[in-house]
Amino acid sequence: MSTSRVALVTGSSSGIGEAVARRLAAEGFRVVVNSARSVEAGEKVAASLPDGHYVQADIAREEDCLRLVDDAVAHFGRLDVLVNNAGITRPIPHADLAAATGAVWREILDVNVVGTWQTTVAAMPALRAGGAGAVVNVSSLAGSRPAGSSIPYAVSKAAIEHLTRLLAATVGPQVRVNAVAPGLVETPWTRGKDFFAPIAEQVSNLAPLRRVGQPEDVADAVWALVNSTYTTGQVLLVDGGSHLR
């Protein structure tokens, strides 16, 4: 059996997750690709990797999280890195308080926060077994600034950042836990949407690096945290300096 490291990247059929999966594969990882619904796209990404494996699972369902991790370990024999990228949002203007209903809150929190928690808990025995496991959560600039596609989404990302710190303080030294917090990133979800163009123009005009992010920018940051063996409990902003404005 191969001794090369194994990474599980949730929500990796496109966008940031796909870029992370490809970067880790390029660094020699065997990668488990995952999505809740985009099965064909996920299978295509996995098939394009040197040693990829696809598992359909909805992280909002605890039984799916357990099955996802069990499948990854059964297929590759180990798990070294978990990247909690899967997430959802519902674009709602912040001033439209009534539109952010309880149902919207529950839907977003169930995936972004509870789903991240459930997947991490399911993966922890395997991550601990190797003695040098790593978790990287994908947050957002909206987790620390009054921004984002909706208030429930921003709150969910703030929760992810504190969860990152709490876990890091709890699961060391066997496992490190960090997070990346992207600013505006051009992905299949944002590209062509009505809200994207004006925000992209604003970021390109004001941010010190004068452009919006690409999925590969976030993948670079994820790899840096995976590879930084004396770093834990950190949230790395990946926003071209937008937070400075």
CATH number at residue 14: 3.40.50.720
- One-letter amino acid at 98 equals A
Q: Cα(204)–Cα(47) distance, rounded to whole angstroms?
A: 35
pLDDT class for 188, splitting at 50, 70, 90? confident
82 neighbors 90 (Cβ within 8 angstroms): no
* 3-class secondary structure, 131: coil
Q: What is the pLDDT of residues 128-184, one digit of tens each?
A: 999 999 999 999 999 999 988 999 999 999 999 999 999 999 999 999 999 999 998
Q: What is the pLDDT of residues 149-164, one digit of tens each?
A: 999 999 999 999 999 9
What is the model's pLDDT at position 2?
A: 64
Residue range of the domain that includes 169: 6-186+214-237
What is the model's pLDDT at position 191?
A: 74
141 neighbors 235 (Cβ within 8 angstroms): no
Q: What is the pLDDT of residues 68-116, one digit of tens each?
A: 999 999 999 999 999 999 999 999 999 999 999 999 999 999 999 999 9
Q: Considering the domain boundaries, does residue 157 fall inside one?
A: yes
Neighbours of 204 (CB within 10 A): 14
Q: Considering the domain boundaries, does residue 163 fall inside one?
A: yes
Q: Considering the domain boundaries, does residue 100 fall inside one?
A: yes
Q: What is the pLDDT of residues 191-213, one digit of tens each?
A: 766 767 788 888 888 889 999 99
Q: Considering the domain boundaries, does residue 208 fall inside one?
A: no
- When divided into structural domains, the chain yields a total of 1
Q: Considering the domain boundaries, does residue 177 fall inside one?
A: yes
**Average of pLDDT values for 41-47?**
98
The residues carrying an active-site annotation are: 153
For the question of whether the overall pTM of this predicted structure is more than 0.75, the answer is: yes
What is the model's pLDDT at position 190?
A: 78
Q: Considering the domain boundaries, does residue 138 fall inside one?
A: yes
Any idea what the Cα angle at residue 14 is, between residues 225 and 241, rounded to 5°? 45
Q: Considering the domain boundaries, does residue 243 fall inside one?
A: no
Q: Considering the domain boundaries, does residue 18 fall inside one?
A: yes
